[in-house]
Amino acid sequence: MPNTQNKSLLTRFLLWKTKHIPQRNFVYMLSVLVGLIAGLGAVTLKNLTHFIQHLLEAKVVSDYHHAFYFLFPLVGLSITFLIKKYVIRHNFGHGIPSTLKAIAKKKGIMKQYQMFSALLAAPFTVGFGGSVGLEGPTVSTAAAISSNISRLFHTNQSTRTLLIGCASTGAIACIFKAPIAAIVFAIEVFSLDLTLSSLLPLLISSISGVLLSYFFYGDDTILPFQLIDKFELNQVPYFALLGVVAALTSIYFTKVYEYLHNYFEKIASPIKRLIIGGLGLGVIVFFIPPLYGEGFDVINNVMKGNYETALQNNFLHLEIHNAWIIIGMLAGLVIFKIIASAFTFGAGGIGGIFSPSLFMGSILGCFFAKLINTLGFLKFNLSESNFTLVGMAGVLGGVLQAPLTAIFLIAELTGGYNLFIPLMITVAICFAITKYFLPFSVYSMELARAGDLITHDKDQAVLTLMNLESLIEKKFVPVHPEMTLGDIVHKAVIKSNRNIFPVIDANDSLQGIILLDDIRPIMFNQNLYKEIKAEDVMQNAPAVIDLDNDRMSGVMQKFQDSSAWNLPVISEEKYIGFISKSKLLTAYRRKLISFTQQ
């Protein structure tokens, strides 16, 4: 009874909404709701994680023993494993890549458990020392909630995708208090079209997320910083050189992540992955405690020049007074951060790569400036804080391949645009070099390999969104290789309104096709009815569509190359049906119209 009542109330609301609220205004209302929910998710995830981390680091480690740095990551990853297996009971991804896949292949539909899975698992991963970030889980949680809200109110696919973008905007805006960067992030990462109809909902969600952040945290930000040193023209060559170094670091980041990801993927047992990854992460964090957790405290201390605080508790108990020791330790942080992050993911941890990118970039920028200043061949000193910020933007833009997000994020974090020129120089050079060697970002590489990546190329995006299986027509009468011409005429030609017949064997494997034109000259000659068999008149299909491996762009290419109007479809080497060019082009036209109206 309660379910029936709820459904009737919802139905009545939807009918009332249809009559009284224009669709565009309703989307604006939903964007406010989604932005606030995304902000609440960000606040909840952050507070849970920082509570765990503060409890462990401030109490257990300081009061008992440094060796707990080795133990905590394995404990946190074990708790995450138990939550995934016994509470969520589903295997779920690391956030943004899974959200991109939902948009590309599932029409923006995300499962209900995705609304709380990352919210439960990520705090234990990161709070216990997992060297990953919270931005990815926050975005995926908000995206799943917005997807299910969209389904509740029966919105179409384009609106559902837009609201997922609004969710990511609200989440990023709340985390960093950077509303413009949050909008740009949604456009760059989720490949949303920047139109008037999409810009206003994104703007509303961004404002909602920022206001919620101010409500809970006041003026506090995750990266508080005020510019002290001004940009000077004679520093341009060094910002350009930093862009090159940031590109090399971005490529290193992506390659190491991909290598270790593939390594852990080959390990079938999740328990074995947990042990290898957990122990590997524990060893790294034990020797390099600044790699514990997200690392924003380390970033803030480095930006302020508090190297003793940032690099304390090092295993060798080195005194942080010698500049070369600081340079060496900074280099170590850059090298081992992504290794620690990859071990966290490989062990089954839940997190994101946004924070590791910021961490590596900030440490790289500080390392770069301090190295040049220590070498002492310049008549002036480079601003270590400015280079820390610009390096952060460079690596973030290179790893995520979202250069505008990186530029606006740092510009907004610093409260102004005094570093805008060096940010543009470094990020542009880093992005150009990285893009040349790595066509796709860490977020998109897996989807790109499978041909499921949506980009700002409308034609490619529409092809990716199309469902190949829905286009298959099965009302074709099959024949067998041993069938005689008489059987073909009486059992196939007479009963079919098609002019093409698939030839399949006893195992349903496609052997060829027969066109009506192939048998028309002989089909009325009854003297040949028993002499000619299907295998005598069949021909090879001009091309075959493999449902398991072919993507829509490849199918289009096969129709173009073969000039055929119908092509057979197979799955697991068995005949399924045909796809016609006319139906394919009609479906493409409809999807294009729907896509361009969002």
pLDDT at 337: 96
pLDDT at 456: 46
pLDDT at 592: 62
Is 2-217 a domain of CATH 1.10.10.10? no
Measured from the Cβ of residue 227, the count of other Cβ atoms closer than 10 Å reads: 15
| Token pair recorded at residue 50 | 């920082």
Between the CA of residue 23 and those of 26, 153, 155, what are the distances in Å? 5, 11, 9
Identify the segments of the chain with pLDDT beneath 50: 1-2, 4-5, 63-64, 455-457, 598
Among residues 589, 319, 295, the alpha carbon closest in space to that of 463 is found at 589
Among residues 38, 84, 132, the alpha carbon closest in space to that of 352 is found at 132
pLDDT at 229: 83
What is the SS3 assignment for 512? strand
Dump pLDDT digits (tens) for 159-215: 888 999 999 999 999 999 999 999 999 988 887 766 777 889 999 999 999 999 999
pLDDT at 59: 59
Among residues 78, 76, 81, 54, the alpha carbon closest in space to that of 129 is found at 76
Query: Which pairs with CB-CB distance under 8 Å and at least 24 residues apart come from 477-481?
Result: 477/501, 478/502, 478/503, 478/504, 478/575, 479/503, 479/504, 479/514, 479/534, 480/504, 480/505, 480/506, 480/534, 481/505, 481/511, 481/533, 481/534, 481/535, 481/538
The CATH architecture one would assign to domain 462-596 is: Roll (3.10)
Domain boundaries, the chain: 2-217, 233-455, 462-596
Give just the sign of the alpha carbon dihedral 339, 343, 346, 352: negative
Among residues 585, 569, 539, 571, the alpha carbon closest in space to that of 473 is found at 569
What is the SS3 assignment for 510? strand
- Residue 510 pairs in a beta bridge with 504
Measured CA to CA, the distance from residue 583 to residue 590 in angstroms comes to: 11
Same fold, 2-217 and 462-596: no
| Token pair recorded at residue 482 | 């041993």
The CATH architecture one would assign to domain 233-455 is: Orthogonal Bundle (1.10)
What is the helix (H) or strand (E) element at residue 179, kind and residue range?
A: helix 179-189
pLDDT at 417: 75
Count H helices and E strands in the chain, helices first. Answer: 26, 5
